[in-house]
Every structure is written in C-alpha cells, then in structure tokens.
Amino acid sequence: MSDAFEITRLDDQGGKGFEKVFAFLRERLLAGSLKPGDRLIPERELAAQLGVSRPILREALRALTVLGIVEIRDRVGTIVRRPDISVLNDFFTFALSHRSDLMDDIVQARVAIECQSIRLAAERASVADLERLQAALRQIEETIDDVEAGGRADFDFHHAIVRASGSETLLVLYDSMSAVLMRSHLDRRHLVRVFDMRTYLIEDHKRVFDAIVGGNPEIADRSLREHFAIGDEFRRKLAIQGGRRADQPD
C-alpha cells in the first residue's frame, strides 16, 4: 500500500459510518495518489485506522468495486483499478428496463459527443481515421440485410467519428454509453424491415463521411445532425403507424 494513502481517523460530524468511509475512500482515490494496480492496506488495519468495524469498511469497499474503482481480490487485498465501462452494464440494463425515457436522454448526450467529435474530425482526422471510416462504410453496405451485423457496422461508423476527433475524453464518454448505443443501432436496424432504408443507411453515411473529408467543422456538424433528423423521421413514421417502437435514429 502506497505511503501516499494517508489514514486519518474519520471525524465525528455528520453522516453514518458507511457514508463517511465511502466518502473518505472516494476522495482519497480521486486525489490520484494511488494508481491502478496499487494495493490498499489490509482491511483489518484500514478499518481500525478509520475507526469503523470491518463489515462497514467492506460495505464501502464493495460499493467502490461496483463502481469499478477498486477490485477486492480474495486473500490478496483491495487493488485500485482502472475504471472499466463494463460496470455500467448493470446500471443501464436496470435503468432502461424501468425507464424508456432515459434512452432518449442518453441519445442527447450521444448527439452532443458525436457532433463535437465530427467538428474536430473535420479539422484533424488522420489518414488512419479516414481509413477506419471507409472500412465502416463498406461494412454497412455488406451488412445491409443483416440486423445484428448491420447494427454493429452502424455503431462502428459512429464510433470511428468519435475516434477521429482525437479526444480521449469524448471517447471515454462515448464508450461508457456504448452498450446502450449498440442497442439503439440494433433497434433501428429492425426498421429496415418496415421501411426501405437501405439508401438512407448507405448514402447518408457516405454523405457524412464526405463532410468530414470536406474539412469544414460546421458543415460536418450539420450533416450529422441532418443524418440524425432523417433517422428520427423514420421513427416518427413508425410511431404514427402504430408499429413496433424503434428506439432511436442511427
């Protein structure tokens, strides 16, 4: 355990044992003095130093494991982890099963990220980025009749845009939502059976690609928003027809 993990007895004001321990650990870990792979001191010692019982400490540690912040290894100790988006699966699975409105909301964040990404991509995409986008376009064409693979191909194209932004932060945020967005793409691919969307899927993705190559951030942004708007329109038509709800635009 790193010396940087300075233990102080928790003060007596406010909150219950768990809350104070959790907040303390969270802050200490956020302070950044511990790196992924570092091990915290043994539970018994940590609990004693923090002045709480071991089960309470364990509740706090367990909470941190669920957030992907640490990992408790049997008979080894508690190890600091690199944050991992897979922890979000449980949340999104639960959340979306109860609140379909959240999908629309998450898509706002998706739009935010992709539109800013495409602006950056128009300015700074590398040859490798463009090749990646081209490959994704080809994949969209090849999978036009396959719901599963097609949804995957759509996602890959959009992911490639975010990647082409060269922004680590935008990519982290986008990856955090990838499970939800994948689902969205799949649902939208089911619309292919209701409407003939092949032209839209193929041509419009190309149009977006051309806008990136064109190098003008505003035009690229606008082309992507138009792309989303068309997808929204298909969804609107389906809703008016009373058909099965498809969640989101491509």
Partner DNA sequence: GTATGCATCTTGGTCTGACCACGGTATGAA
Partner DNA sequence: TTCATACCGTGGTCAGACCAAGATGCATAC
Residue 243 binds which of a copy of itself, DNA, none (CB < 5-8 A, kind-dependent):
none
If one asks whether residue 91 binds a copy of itself (CB under 8 A), the answer comes out as yes
Segment near DNA (CB under 7 A), from 16-24, 173-181, 185-193, 211-219? 16-24
If one asks whether residue 166 binds DNA (CB under 7 A), the answer comes out as no
Among 10, 63, 149, 230, binds a copy of itself (CB under 8 A): 63
- What are the DSSP E strand ranges found in the chain? 70-73, 77-80
Number of H helices, E strands in the chain: 12, 2
Residue 98 binds which of a copy of itself, DNA, none (CB < 5-8 A, kind-dependent):
a copy of itself
Please, which residue, 63 or 147, has the CB nearer to DNA? 63
Helix (H, G, I), strand (E, B), or coil: what is residue 146?
coil
Residue 32 binds which of a copy of itself, DNA, none (CB < 5-8 A, kind-dependent):
a copy of itself
Spatial separation of the C-alpha atoms in residues 218 and 116, rounded to whole Å: 10
Instruction: Identify the CA nearest to 180 among candidates 188, 192, 190.
Output: 188
Residue 232 has, within 13 A of its CA and on its CB side, a CA count of 10
If one asks whether residue 172 binds a copy of itself (CB under 8 A), the answer comes out as yes
If one asks whether residue 201 binds DNA (CB under 7 A), the answer comes out as no
Site string for a copy of itself, 111-130 (x = CB under 8 A): xxx-xxx--x----------
Q: How far is the CB of 89 from DNA (least distance, A)?
A: 20
Token code pair at residue 247? 């969640």
Spatial separation of the C-alpha atoms in residues 118 and 114, rounded to whole Å: 6
If one asks whether residue 75 binds a copy of itself (CB under 8 A), the answer comes out as no
At 118, which amino acid appears? Answer: I
In this structure, are residues 250 and 137 in contact, taking their beta carbons and an 8 Å threshold? Answer: no
| Binding residues for DNA restricted to 34-93, rule: CB under 7 A | 40, 42-44, 51-56, 58-59, 72-78
Work out the burial of residue 250: count CB atoms within 10 Å of its CB; fewer than 13 is exposed, 13-18 middle, 19 or more buried: buried
Please, which residue, 33 or 53, has the CB nearer to DNA? 53
| Residue 243 main-chain phi, psi, to 5 deg | -80, -175
If one asks whether residue 99 binds DNA (CB under 7 A), the answer comes out as no
